[in-house]
Amino acid sequence: MKAATAHDSLDSFFQVVPEPSPAISHYTLILLIQPSTDKILLGKKLCGFGEGKFNGFGGKPNPNESMRDCALRETEEECGVIVPPEFLLSGGTLTFTGLAPKQMIVHLYRVNLDNFPFKVVPSDEMDPTWFPITSIPFSLMFDDDKFWLPKLLSKAWSADCALEGNFHFDGDFVSNYILTHNDNLEKKLFHELHRGGGRLSLKEYNEALHFALMTQRRFKKSKVERIIDVCGGHGALLHWLMIRFPNCKSGVVIDPAKCDSGRTKVQNIFTPLLQKKSQTVKYVNEKLEDALLKEIDASPSPSTTLVVACHACQYLTTRIIEACEARKVAYISVMPCCQKDETGGFRALGQKLFKSGKVEAGVVSDMMTAGKLSHFYHVKVTLIDEKITPLNRVITGEWADTNSADTTNPKDEQRLQRAYKKAHQNTNPKSKIRRIKQNSFYAATSFALLAILSQPSFFFSLPKQLPAPRLATSNTILTTLFGSIIGFAAGKLYYGGAPKEK
């Protein structure tokens, strides 16, 4: 028997596992534990699927029956234990492939039997048996139990937990599996989105999640009440953003393509979360430019509207920015892709601006997009991890009221004037030559003065040494000449060389 291969990501798992059937069957499984005796109650299956194996209690829900109600009913039917609903703790979800033609999704629950009185009664389906937690008969159970059951038993019994696992069977044994604890919303939704058919790729999921995080960080203190997702596809990004902006009341996904399978899954997962805050979402399958203007106009106010586009092509990104500028939308966040450089102009510009290294045309294009956006917006460019996507530049803008007097800072104007003056001084060739001559004159004068002061005859009368004045004069002339040469060279070096006068 070959050992099962553990995976650290669902993408890795699905690369070696055959594509599962989109058909899914749901089941429940309850684990009954008595911590005071360190024992677990398992049942030996007397008939049907898994006959002869020990397992927890549970089964398939009846039509219109919730998973929790199913777990409570099946436990009472199979072992006679009546569990008060308040003591039923969630344990997570396991997905199985290879055991049956359909995927099997098992919803785990845990019960602490010390919390209430109970009575164990055997049934025609199950023969209940107590086992010490340290001596669970894994050899008489399904092969997957030895991987996930110890982890579930190690969790605290005072709260729900979210164990998530995917197991693929080859015959009676697990060949590949992944097991994680979904201890936050991102992990839980990730596994839900990847369950069954129409899965999102790990790359697509991470792009949407990190784009949403960057957008939230930029506008976290803003009052965003409506979000419009352009090229939103199945709408996962929009739902992420609506969860992260608590004041958001409605959202719109604009995309001419209908991603029905992905959309249904996203809606099934996120709708319960949005309903708690009375948030609504609608999908618009129309031409992007027309639908965007229509939806912006339908918003309660552009001052509370956020428009996003994750990996819209450069052409669409430009159209989105123009629409937002025309309607004075308060917030915009884009991450462009498919930047075209048909003439090679962007690449050439990048080489000129960044001579020390190679710069992709897309980087230059995105910087130009940010510059265009800055005409009406306060712009920031942030990067997500390039391992997730090389097109990782998130450009965000917050509307700046260009007609407001308080947006102009007098100090900024003063700094601009000083920078302008400094940049344009000494641009006249004659002015440069004049400066060099002045520099040479000052240097020559300084050297001459030093030469005169260094002569003893300047301070004392030496009549008996007549050659001394002549020597002093000679030294002064040589020093002055030497100073002029040094001064002229220094001036020419300092000013970068003056062009010849015409």
Instruction: Write the pLDDT tens digit of every residue in 71-89.
Output: 999 999 999 999 999 999 9
C-alpha distances out from residue 335 to 244, 266, 339, 362, 464, Å: 19, 22, 11, 11, 91
Question: What is the longest distance spanned by two Cα atoms in the chain?
Answer: 141
Q: What rounded mean pLDDT belongs to the chain?
A: 80
Task: Look at residue 192 and tell me whether its pLDDT is greater than 70.
Answer: no
pLDDT of 452 over the 70 cut: no
Beta strands at 24-34 and 39-45: parallel, antiparallel or unpaired: antiparallel
Q: Of 394, 391, 397, 287, which Cα lies nearest the Cα of 339?
A: 391
Residue 30 phi/psi, 5-degree rounding, is -110, 135
Contact 369, 324 (CB under 8 A): no
Q: State how far the Cα of 398 lies from the Cα of 394, in Å rounded to an integer.
A: 13
Q: Which two tokens stand for residue 1?
A: 């028997």
Number of H helices, E strands in the chain: 14, 16
- d(Cα 348, Cα 365) in Å, to the nearest integer? 12
How do residues 133-167 score in pLDDT, each as one tens digit?
A: 999 999 999 999 999 999 888 876 666 777 889 99
pTM, full prediction = 0.52
Please say whether the beta carbons of 397 and 306 come within 8 A.
no
The H or E element that residue 351 is part of is helix 345-353
| CB of 133 closer than 8 Å to CB of 150 | no
Confidence of residue 208 (pLDDT cuts 50, 70, 90): confident
- Residue of 257, 317, 329 whose CA lies nearest to 289: 317
- Rounded to whole angstroms, the Cα distance separating 116 from 157 reads 14
